[in-house]
Amino acid sequence: MKLSVIILNYNVCYFLELCIKSVEAAISNIEAEIIVIDNNSSDDSCAMVKQLFPSVRLIENNENSGFSKGNNIGVAQAKGEYLCILNPDTVVAEDTFVKLLKFSDSKTNLGIIGCQLIDGKGKFLPESKRNVPTPKVSLKKVLGHTKGYYANHIKTENTGKVDILVGAFMWLKKEVYDIVGGFDEAYFMYGEDIDLSYKIVKAGFDNYYFGETSVIHFKGESTLKDAKYAQRFYGAMQIFYKKHFKQNIVFNAVVWIGIKLAQFLSKTPEKVETVPQRTVIYTKSLEQSLEAQLPKPSQIVESIQDKVESSSMLVYDFNLLIASDVISDMKLKSKQENIVFRFLPKSSKFILGSDSAINRGEVLHF
């Protein structure tokens, strides 16, 4: 088997459904499997997977074992030569895996490959490519100076070597994953992707950012960015520094001060809403019960090539459109003011979307 797609889920049933549907389209011509590990969700995630995706291998944990352990459980059962560690709040393009297989087979000494991630508003996510977050670099970032934190030497659409990639999408050989021992289970959530990336670099492999394919990462779905998030995140960074950097009194003091400063400066974010003034729906037809819930006036069109006004909600119908075209259109139209996006999965009775990296997205049933 060529590829195992590993999806760790926790209470994001509707985003997971959209994700799996996009993955199924992307592996249609690849010998591949999809493994979903559920970390004891309280929603209908497991029932949905069993009903809609009988070919997906579902692992139901009886506790929330965290990101690292959950993924390790899935990888242990994977049969693919390659792994794709994938968040459930993502949408992959139909040609994403094909492009990565071609690129991977052209490289020797391959570590992790990450790709161009965009958020639910079509904006590029700079964490798609990062440098090693040394204490000095991280302290500067806390104070608002991101130079040196992100790998800005590689342009968004280009490809090149980087040190650190993001756990929402990680592509690598299972052999390499096993050589470094997979995700370190000392990390419950956050920091484990930085740790795995750095372990693989230290083991002598080359990590790459691959900007020739884009994946939507809605963010804010599996966890909310609140005070508890801050505590876990900076706790994870403390584990990382103790593990990978030489310790001394001055070093420990700098790390401690940096973490405490970051916790002090972090605030529970307020929800900021964009209120669209109209709806543009890319579909052949739409049920009246859904159209009635969307901002007025609404307009149904069949071509995403059409121009739209600012302050609009765009609804993409995957019964008509393919993910690669949707992603390209999002990146283009995101340059306009107050544009928000919603997605109607194929054969589904809901639309969803996310306008914020720090708050849960919206699911609208009809």
Q: Indicate if the alpha-carbon torsion angle 315, 319, 320, 326 is positive or negative.
A: positive
Contact status, residue 189 vs residue 67, Cβ threshold 8 Å? yes
Which are the contacts of 228, defined by CB distance < 8 A and separation ≥ 6? none
In angstroms, how far is CA 101 from the centroid of its own chain?
Answer: 19
34/79 Cα distance (integer angstroms): 10
Beta sheet of 350-353, edge-to-edge order: 298-301, 278-282, 312-317, 340-344, 350-353, 362-365
CA distances in angstroms from 225 to 73, 140, 357, listed in the order given: 26, 21, 8
Q: Helices (DSSP H) in the chain: which residue ranges?
A: 13-26, 45-52, 66-76, 96-105, 135-142, 174-179, 192-202, 227-244, 249-265, 288-291, 323-333
3-state helix, strand, coil in the chain (%, to 5): 35, 25, 45
Q: What is the pLDDT of residue 191?
A: 87
Average pLDDT of each block of 10 consecutive residues along the chain (366 residues)? 98 98 98 98 98 98 95 98 98 98 96 98 97 82 82 97 98 98 89 95 98 92 54 71 75 65 60 80 89 93 91 96 98 95 96 86 93
320/148 Cα distance (integer angstroms): 42
Instruction: Name the one residue in this structure whose structure tokens are 């929603």.
Output: 43
CA distances in angstroms from 314 to 46, 254, 304, 358, listed in the order given: 30, 47, 10, 21
Q: Indicate if the alpha-carbon torsion angle 188, 190, 191, 196 is positive or negative.
A: positive
Coil vs helix vs strand at 350:
strand
Q: What is the pLDDT of residue 37?
A: 98
340/334 Cα distance (integer angstroms): 8
Which are the contacts of 219, defined by CB distance < 8 A and separation ≥ 6? 89, 119, 120, 125, 168, 354, 357
- Give the CA angle between residues 352, 357, 362 to the nearest 5°: 20
Q: What is the pLDDT of residue 280?
A: 96
CA distances in angstroms from 109 to 104, 170, 190, 299, listed in the order given: 10, 16, 27, 51
Instruction: Name the one residue in this structure whose structure tokens are 């049920």.
Output: 287
174/82 Cα distance (integer angstroms): 5
Q: What is the pLDDT of residue 146?
A: 86
β-sheet bridge partners, residue 7: 36, 86
pTM of the predicted model as reported, rounded to 2 decimal places: 0.90
